[in-house]
Chains A and B, each alone.
Chain A
Amino acid sequence: MTLTLSKKDQLMLAGDHGRAAEAAMRILTQMGEIFGAKRLIDIESAHIDGCLYHGDSGIHFAQMLVDGGAQTVVPTTLNVGAIDLVHPEHFQGTAAHAAKATELMSLYQQMGCLPIWTCAPYQTTQKPAFGQQIMWAESNAIVFANSVLGARTNRYGDYIDICGAITGRAPEYGLHLTENRRGQVVYHLKNIPEQLLAEDVLYPVIGYLIGSQSGSRIPVITGLPSGATEDHLKALGAAAASSGAVALFHAVGITPEANTLDQALQGEPAEREVDVSVNDLKQLLGHLSTVPDGEINVVALGSPHFSLGEFEQLLPLVRSHPPQTEFIVCTHRLVLAGLQKRGWLDELRELGVDVVVDTCVVVTPIVKASAGGTLMTNSGKFAHYTPGNIGFDVIFGSLQECVRSAAIGRVWRDQELWP
């Protein structure tokens, strides 16, 4: 066994800190051994994905921890649950399903987690600092924390997340260590027109492309404009973490561990270099939609959860083109409060936009249109998961294309968008 435990780790493993900490430590040490960690390290925060109801096993696990006296010892935030607790009327599933979803969310609150219920915790008050060791789950939050903030987490899954939160420890392997954060595959954006580089729609497409080609390798992107916003990088990362197992990317001149290409590669040669042209990106667009342009039944936005800035872009568009189809935007409670403060929430509702918090449309039944229809989105992540999770075909488009399409019930394309 290569893993050496501290005195306190050993006491936890022996059950001195209660049965929950003992089980958590057993899981952490097994994972540490699998990945050859030499020790466990302190973490400064945790983000929990296990609070989303998939079936009874999630409740069994959380109940086991609660019964074993689990309490978080580091600031711990909660990812989406399976129900909007503020607007439960959005839930389209059975009462029994709603009850189980709520029960699971409540178990995690009992362990001391902060009920922010969002997949974009990095756009709340809980933003990790550069270099902090953290244990985050939720694929898009992982990639954002590592890439854009320079915090350090592995691609953690449901259940180890809470183990970190109640012990304050993580096995030191993978992306916790500087040498494993080196870029491996370099994607050079070549001859992408200036006007396209300024478009939001570009980012999920680039993300989806590098995710599908990188697997779990660490991609480096050159040629992104220095004006790429936090929301752009959020969309790029979420798409890359859907089509691949990307937990960290570097964007040269933009992300904090990539001031130069050489820094992103830690002075070593790239394993592979790939040129990306407009044509490559246009070809990928074809994979993001599952049906040809035609009628749509619903538009869904907000994966990852919409920011206030994204609502600011949406509002004038829906004022000019109010939706005729079902139109859902997923966000979190802090943004909801911001919308209320500005008087935007009432206006959006009057225009026919449903704002959902605490959850999102691909994790739980919210869409009212019947399955088998077509959902349109500007999110690479929604585009990836919609067909399998909720049985809709999917059309991918820009924010403007989504809004204009919802206004006429069929796909509207901006002919100027893609050269």
Chain B
Amino acid sequence: MSSFRLKILVDGVAVGRPLVLDEPLSFWGGLDPHSGEVIDRRHPQSGETVTGRVLFLPSGRGSSSASSILMEAVHDESAPAALVMAEADGILALGAIVAQEVYGRSLPVVLLSSDDYQAVTAAIKANDKLFVELSDHQLHLK
């Protein structure tokens, strides 16, 4: 098991199988909040389902409705377990904060340093049996 220090944008605990997005994703127009499917047909992970996964994405992009889509996914129980990013995205963090405010459900949004992000996503790609746990400001791979 290896551990990496996190910067917390939105606090919380999560455990799940990871899903790595190779490119940024605009959640609006890119994620179906009802099914959890990646629907941006130009995206490398088009067709994958984010529900319950610890979602790794380098950064956000596109529409300012991403926060709505994330919150709708929380409401529909199709949201990822957590978001792990290399670059802070205010719109996605906002979606998680508002979901907490309205539904009282926590969806951690955390940052890894750019080097750690590379290392962790490379480890995940090399081993599809890995689980990710976020707790105590640390990301644990096991």
Contact = CB atoms under 8 A, between A and B. Distances in A.
A241 B62 contact: yes
Given A157-B64, A215-B24, A242-B26, A61 B71 contact: yes
Given A49-B64, A154-B90, A157-B94, A57 B74 contact: yes
A316 B63 CA distance: 33
Interface in B24-66: 24, 26, 28-30, 33-34, 39-42, 59-66
B33 A55 contact: yes
Nearest to A386: B29
A387 interface: yes
Contacts of A242: 26, 62-63
Given A31-B93, A54-B72, A216-B59, A387 B42 contact: yes
Contacts of B89: 216, 245
Interface string A27-66: 1001100110000000000000110101111101100100
Given A61-B71, A215-B59, A385 B93 contact: no
Q: How big is the B interface, by class? A: 35 or more
Given A52-B68, A57-B68, A34 B93 contact: yes
Contacts of A343: none
A297 B19 CA distance: 36
Contact of A54 (B10, B61, B68): B68
A243 B61 contact: yes
A403 to B, nearest CB: 26
A245 B33 contact: no
A352 B1 CA distance: 65
A287 interface: yes
A160 B106 CA distance: 18
Interface in B75-106: 75-76, 87-95, 97-99, 101-103
A34 B67 contact: no
A362 B71 CA distance: 20
Interface in A146-165: 154-161
A31 B72 contact: no
Interface stretch (A110-118, A135-143, A248-256): A135-143
A157 B93 CA distance: 10
B73 to A, nearest CB: 9
Nearest to B74: A57
Contacts of A154: 90
A305 interface: no
Contacts of B9: 34
A287 B42 contact: yes
Nearest to A290: B41
25 contacts: A27-B94, A31-B90, A49-B68, A52-B65, A52-B68, A54-B68, A55-B75, A57-B71, A57-B74, A57-B99, A58-B68, A60-B102, A61-B98, A139-B62, A155-B64, A155-B91, A158-B65, A158-B94, A159-B68, A159-B94, A161-B64, A211-B61, A244-B61, A384-B62, A387-B40
Which 5 pairs between the two chains have the least Cβ-Cβ distance? A157-B91, A157-B67, A55-B72, A57-B75, A385-B29
Given A242-B62, A385-B63, A388-B30, 12 more contacts: A34-B9, A35-B88, A50-B68, A55-B34, A55-B75, A58-B72, A139-B62, A154-B90, A211-B61, A242-B63, A245-B60, A389-B29
